[in-house]
Amino acid sequence: MENEFKDFKAGYVAIVGEPNVGKSTLLNTLLQHKISIVTPKPQTTRHKIIGIMTGENYQIVFLDTPGLIKPRYLLQEVMMRYAESALNDADIILFMVDVKKVKTNEAVTKTLPFEILKRYADQKPIILVINKVDLVNKLEVLPIIDFFSKVFPFKEIVPISALKGQNIDELKKVLLQYLPNHPPFYPPDMVTEHPERFFVAEIIREKIFQIFRQEIPYSTTVSIVEFREAKEEGERDYIRAEIYVEKESQKGIIIGKDGQMLKKVGTLAREEIEWFLGRPVYLDLYVKARKKWRDSKAWLKRLGYTVD
């Protein structure tokens, strides 16, 4: 077994950064498979999403993480623990910034993301990924690269466009350069370790983020309470999902007049779930109000978050 993998490289790569810099888009682009939900709103990712890329002589296990923020409630504290866990587990850290929003002054080095990165600077390679370079002139990127090369010991700085796929091959080469020699952690055909139920819930949540504004999506979570696969050809899988909000007024907004908004969520979610699973489904959605579930240990545990 050792000889079989003596030239094999495998390791964990944590993708971290502030909210909405394109971490989930990068993961999906790298894997050429959508496993992490993407919306224009910040702080969409709540879990540590695992994506697995396997090549002929390598396996990279990517950890997509929630955006680094100062928590305001228990759910956000849990999300930051997920991010810290990914940083601890990682062999390589990819730190992402948005080229359109990043500031090139000393104050940047005192922000929360940099304070967190400093803890790992001497422990593992940290690579800076400057995302969304398709939105600016190439000459605008050069001073950003120059600045960051002087203020932090990044092993490499790689400008990319996760959405357009620009320079992704170069980023892969850089990762393989720093990946340790190790046998694969997962079977070669595995793309993620999360079950189908997890992705179904995430797809429903993504549609809520896309349709509703302001605080509604952030006050919402989704629980799959029944997932029954079809037993005979021509039948549909049956999926029952409960959407939780914090207030009765939010429940009314998601349901909408005559149930029209909930129907819209269901239609969009069902279409993508069917594409994801590769088979027809019957999606049954219910909306329930649970006061302050984001600050409740009991409810967070019930909803699948690791609180302790």
Per the annotation, binding residues for GTP are: 17-24, 64-68, 131-134
> Which of 193, 195, 196, 190 is CA-nearest to residue 53?
190
Sequence-distant (≥ 6) Cβ neighbours of residue 146 within 8 angstroms: none
Long-range contacts of 279-282 (CB under 8 A, 24+ apart): 279/230, 279/236, 279/237, 280/230, 280/236, 280/237, 281/236, 281/237, 281/238, 281/239, 282/236, 282/237, 282/238, 282/239
Query: For residues 147 and 142, what is the distance between their CA atoms, to the nearest angstrom?
Result: 9
Strands 221-228 and 58-64: unpaired
Per DSSP, the residues of 66-132 read PPP---SSHHHHHHHHHHHHHHHH-SEEEEEEETTT---SGGGGGSHHHHHHHTTTTTS-EEEEEE-
Query: For residues 94 and 276, what is the distance between their CA atoms, to the nearest angstrom?
Result: 27
Binding site: what residues are annotated? 17-24, 64-68, 131-134
